[in-house]
Amino acid sequence: MATGADQAVGFGLVGFSLLLFTYYSIWVVVLPFVDSDHVIHSYFLPREYSVILPGIAALILLLFVGTFIGIVTWKNRKPKKVD
């Protein structure tokens, strides 16, 4: 069973993910259909960043996954036997 602290961290992560998904969805899907002089545009970055930021995040994720796999592979290798 998860402790109260684990559940609080889990709910926090789910809440943050939901907030980020909602913000990005509005930024990419809804904002192009709103007039450019509307006040809602002041809450969002320029549209170019909607492609750049996820690309950078994906590269960082791939870097961490590759580093993790490399470290685990390096630590689990067995020495060669000399006959």
Residues 34 and 60 in one domain: no
Residues 35 and 52 in one domain: no
Question: What is the count of structural domains for the chain?
Answer: 2
Count Cβ atoms below 10 Å from residue 34 Cβ, excluding itself: 13
Is residue 44 within 8 Å of residue 31, measured between CB atoms?
A: yes
Structural domain of 80: 45-83
Tokens describing residue 51: 């492609």
Q: What is the mean pLDDT of residues 25-44?
A: 92
Residues 40 and 12 in one domain: yes
Residues 38 and 72 in one domain: no
pTM of the model: 0.70
Q: What is the mean pLDDT of residues 66-74?
A: 96
What is the predicted pLDDT for the residue at 83?
65
Residues 6 and 27 in one domain: yes
Residues 13 and 39 in one domain: yes
| Rounded-to-integer distance, Cα 9 and Cα 38, Å | 37
What is the predicted pLDDT for the residue at 38?
92
